[in-house]
């Protein structure tokens, strides 16, 4: 079992082989099975961003499968990956350790996409922590930017549209690895130009909400 101190407000943590090889293989096989239900998302990030921009490669289509939304299970596949969530929770690296959201994301090979990275964004408009689990090796790096939204300001459209992004850390996908970081960091995936697909689990942890 990996042991870590709680994540600091500016810290990005990478842990390889967060689960054993047998479970890594089983996860990949489950999400690449012929009968697995992937759902088309015409934009990886909010479709409101960059409306009318002629370069659609920055916010291309992808495939999603929602597993856990708004503190409830929304897919029968969730139980298959719930052990991974509990292993991450047992690391005790987040001050807010309750699962808030979990989605599987798949992007196809895009050899002609010249963007360095896709559209930077944050996942939610309240304090949270991000974990990305990489199902397969690949070249579609994750970019964590220097820029942040520590107030979780929902009106960030103009900032995102005009920001001159600088990179705090770039993480290359490796099967069985996670990267964890505070949710106020803008982050983005990038085109995988060599591999047939890039599949990740995006997991958000936040403070448990009780009542309305």
What pLDDT, in 10s, does the model give residues 125-167?
999 999 999 999 999 999 999 999 999 998 888 899 899 999 9
> Residue 48 forms beta bridges with which residues?
none
d(CA 204, CA 125): 12
Rg (CA), the chain: 16
Average pLDDT per 10 consecutive residues for the chain, totaling 212 residues:
62 96 98 97 72 65 95 96 96 89 95 90 93 96 96 89 94 98 95 94 82 44
Strand, coil or helix: 82: helix
The separation between the first and the last C-alpha atoms of the chain, rounded to the nearest angstrom, is: 36
Average pLDDT of the chain?
Answer: 89
DSSP run (H or E) holding 15: strand 13-15
Other C-beta atoms closer than 10 Å to the C-beta of 46 total 13
Coil vs helix vs strand at 83:
helix
Please report how the helices 78-90 and 21-31 are oriented relative to each other, as an axis angle in degrees rounded to 10. 140
Q: How many Cα atoms sit within 13 Å of 186 on the Cβ side?
A: 23
């Amino acid at each position: 079992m990996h042991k870590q101190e709680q994540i600091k407000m500016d810290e990005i943590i990478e842990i390889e082989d967060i689960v054993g090889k047998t479970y890594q293989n089983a996860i990949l096989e489950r999400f690449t099975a012929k009968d697995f239900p992937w759902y088309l998302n015409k934009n990886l990030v909010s479709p409101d961003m960059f409306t009318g921009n002629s370069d659609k490669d920055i916010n291309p289509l992808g495939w999603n499968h929602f597993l856990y939304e708004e503190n409830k299970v929304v897919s029968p596949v969730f139980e298959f990956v719930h052990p991974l969530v509990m292993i991450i929770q047992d690391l005790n690296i987040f001050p807010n350790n309750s699962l808030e959201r979990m989605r599987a994301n798949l992007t196809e090979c895009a050899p002609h996409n010249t963007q360095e990275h896709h559209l930077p964004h944050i996942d939610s408009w309240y304090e949270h922590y991000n974990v990305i689990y990489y199902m397969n090796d690949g070249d579609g790096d994750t970019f964590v930017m220097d820029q942040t939204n520590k107030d979780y300001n929902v009106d960030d459209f103009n900032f995102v549209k005009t920001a001159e992004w600088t990179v705090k850390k770039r993480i290359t996908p490796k099967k069985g690895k996670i990267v964890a970081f505070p949710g106020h960091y803008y982050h983005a995936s990038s085109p995988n130009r060599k591999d047939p697909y890039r599949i990740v689990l995006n997991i958000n942890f936040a403070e448990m909400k009780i009542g309305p």
